[in-house]
Amino acid sequence: MAEAYHYPPDLFELLVEALARLNRSKKGVVLFLRSAGVDAVDLAEVDQIVRTDPHSISKFEIARNVLDRVNARGDSGIRPRREIIKRVEEFEDFSSCWPEDQMKARGLVAAIREARNRKDSFTRMQQERDAERAKNLERQQSERASAAETRVKLEAIAARLSALFAMDDAPQRRGKLLEGVLNDLFRAFGIHVEEDFRRRDPDTGVVVEQIDGVIELDGNLYLVEMKWLGEPAGMGEFMPHLGRVFLRGDARGILISSNGFTEPVVRECAAALTQKTLMLCSLHEIVMLLHRQDDLVAFLKTKVRAAVIDKNPHHQILS
């Protein structure tokens, strides 16, 4: 049912009186409604009465009878309802009305135009509210679906990461698999990743530099190094990564270690913050983040803020 296009009570009453006063005869009312596209079924009763016993029915009763039927229709009544309104609003030759009805007819046509404009404004506002409601509902559904999809991805990533802890007999393969796990974690949160970046000598094609991954966060590029070690990452693991960051003007750095970092690494990293933005992240922090199913982007931004504002490159987030 197209409720927005049905005549409300005030407009309905105006139309009943207008149709009776705009037409001099009862046949004229029927003809007006027929020319507006009213279905023959809706006109049949009054048409029969007008032809056989016209004195038993008034022009007002004819208009009310037919408008009742047209207004009760669903979508099939939209066109005649619109056309009746249109023809009444476009009526100009008031000299065709009975002299005593002419001023009333003019007033009724003006009132119908005003009522229709109010109804159209209400309908537009209602449609806008409905559209906004539908848009919000669609957005909420999309967000819920996206969150559910992210949860599934995070559970799979957490399972893959857990499996790595049982690979003590294959450290090299585990280190390579760790890169893939963490890069997939970045992607799960919409972080652009360029994994296993290799720079080659333009003449010989020999790899002269290899970076585990490059991510982009808030328009900044971060060189990411991942280390699975049996002991805390020391200067031997940190300095080559620091050198790669310093060789690139606006690059920032993240070093992820399975077993934390030595004090010299933390001190050297803090000293380098005067020139570069650097973060140290333990694998334990990643495990806890996956357990909580927290937002990785917010996690990284918190660590960046600690490095930049607090000069703390080793701000740990475990809860």
Q: What is the pLDDT of residue 121?
A: 61
Q: What is the pLDDT of residue 132?
A: 83
Q: What angle (nearest 5°) sits at the alpha carbon of residue 6, between those of residues 39 and 103?
A: 85
Last residue of a domain, one of 74, 92, 127: 127
Whether 215 has a pLDDT exceeding 80, the answer reads yes
Q: What angle (nearest 5°) sits at the alpha carbon of residue 257, between those of residues 230 and 312?
A: 135
Residue at 216 is within a domain? yes
Q: What is the CATH number of the domain that holds 284?
A: 3.40.1350.10
Last residue of a domain, one of 127, 154, 181: 127
Give 128-177 pLDDT, tens digit per residue: 777 888 888 899 999 899 889 989 999 999 999 999 999 988 988 998 89
Q: What is the pLDDT of residue 134?
A: 87
From residue 312, give the alpha-carbon distance in Å to each of 30, 109, 303.
87, 77, 8
Across all residues in the chain, what is the average pLDDT?
Answer: 89
Q: What is the mean pLDDT of residues 25-32?
A: 96
Q: Identify whether residues 77 and 196 lie together within a single domain.
A: no
Q: Identify whether residues 196 and 296 lie together within a single domain.
A: yes
Domain that holds residue 200: 171-309
Residue at 134 is within a domain? no
Rg (CA), the chain: 39
Residue at 225 is within a domain? yes
